[in-house]
Amino acid sequence: MKLHIKEEFGFLAGFADLLGTEVNNGILVIPDNKGKGYLRGFRLDNSINMLVSFYEFNDNVLAKRLGGQNTLNRILFSFNTIFPDADSKNKYSGNLPSIQIFKGKLNIETFYPGRTKFNSIFIGIDSDKLAKTLGVNIHNEIFRNIITSEQPILFEELLSPKIQQVAMEIIQTDVPDSLTDFFFKIKAEELICLTLKELFKRENPTTHALNQIDVQKIYKVRDLILNNIAVAPVIKHLASEVGMSESKFKRLFKQIFGDSLFSYYQKFRMKEASRLLKENKMTVSEVGFKMGFSNLSHFAKAFEQHIGIKPKSFQKLK
């Protein structure tokens, strides 16, 4: 199935037409013959709206997010995979627990296998509204770029525990109807605040022009390295594979993800190592070798740098 995401307003109605169903009170329930779950839209005021999604389709989906004509005036926050699918065979590709912050006309295409679980929160806010809310005296280069740039912008951050907690509060809310709009507006603004807090940690940010072709290439490489986590990435080979110079590849990768390629890879490598150690089915040595380390002292050092504790001590934790 092909899903074209053209704009925020009217998205649910267009989605309902595609599925042969209707939107009732802002809620779209996925028909049984298509999958299961729901999407719920909120227009919190004239400049901010939110879409909560919790569903899966029976068939494969090719999702295309198409930028509109006024997207430079709109900042979009997409909180993806709030509840990671523990049963997924493909842990990372396409549906990584993350936040994407973007504006501008970037057309992004992603393929999702059937039964992929979508659980996300999508928030859109006018640039002027965000600038007015935060104040004009925020001296942060990333914030200025987000607000004033005339070029498409895309940043991605991993979901922090606090962001995930707030997102779960939105999904699992039980507030009375009389407080619903108030509650969701506060939570939407809290998610934006926490996201900007993470973005502001980036050092010496430099923003270069992006286009959808380059973005697709960067994400293709990201998926390649995360789905081959035991193989250390070689920038020269990866850049060549997607037809990009090494310097441009390194520049755009760091711009989008806020980290160098190897640092980003190593972070996920240690996450996977910690997951295997928690399962307690493999020894520390076996996990180290599985993650591609030939020297176990190097593995122990890298693990401690990222997780904060030696792997043997980590495995003993309950």
**221 and 127 in a common domain:** no
Of 145, 174, 199, the one marking the end of a domain is 199
**171 and 218 in a common domain:** no
Instruction: List the single range of 1-5, 160-164, 295-299 with lowest mean pLDDT.
Output: 1-5
**253 and 172 in a common domain:** no
**115 and 159 in a common domain:** yes
Residue 76 C-beta-side C-alpha neighbours within 13 Å: 27
In a domain, 41, yes or no: yes
- Selected residue with higher pLDDT from 286 and 110: 286
CATH number at residue 173: 2.60.120
pLDDT at res. 235: 95
Q: In this structure, how many other beta carbons lie within 10 angstroms of the beta carbon of residue 254? A: 17
pTM of the predicted model as reported, rounded to 2 decimal places? 0.87
In a domain, 228, yes or no: yes
Q: Is the CB of residue 299 less than 8 Å from the CB of residue 291?
A: yes
Structure tokens at 307: 């997780």
In a domain, 207, yes or no: no
Domain count, the chain: 2
Q: Is the CB of residue 228 less than 8 Å from the CB of residue 263?
A: no
The DSSP symbol for 24 reads B
Of 173, 199, 225, the one marking the end of a domain is 199
- Selected residue with higher pLDDT from 210 and 67: 210
Q: Is the pLDDT of residue 110 over 70?
A: no
Instruction: List the single range of 106-120, 133-147, 155-169, 285-299 with lowest mean pLDDT.
Output: 106-120
> What is the average pLDDT across 48-64?
83
As a whole-number percent, the residues of the chain with pLDDT over 90 amount to 53
pLDDT digit string (tens) for 217-272?
Answer: 999 999 999 999 999 999 999 999 999 999 999 999 999 999 999 999 999 999 99
In a domain, 204, yes or no: no
In a domain, 90, yes or no: yes
**102 and 29 in a common domain:** yes
**253 and 170 in a common domain:** no
Structure tokens at 223: 């998926």
CATH number at residue 246: 1.10.10.60
**266 and 122 in a common domain:** no
**180 and 292 in a common domain:** no
In a domain, 47, yes or no: yes
**264 and 187 in a common domain:** no
**172 and 292 in a common domain:** no
Of 154, 176, 199, the one marking the end of a domain is 199
Q: What confidence tier does 109 reach under pLDDT thresholds 50, 70, 90? A: low
CA distance 28 to 39: 5
**192 and 222 in a common domain:** no
pLDDT at res. 108: 62
In a domain, 206, yes or no: no
Q: Is the pLDDT of residue 63 over 80?
A: no
**245 and 102 in a common domain:** no
Burial 11-49 (b: 16+ CB within 10 A, else e): bbeebbeebeeebeeeebbbeeebbebebbbbebeebbb
pLDDT digit string (tens) for 163-215?
Answer: 999 988 998 888 898 998 899 999 999 999 999 999 988 876 678 888 889 99
- Left if phi > 0, otherwise alpha if psi is -120 to 50, otherwise beta: which for 99? beta
Which residue segment(s) compose the domain that 84 sits in?
2-199
In a domain, 205, yes or no: no
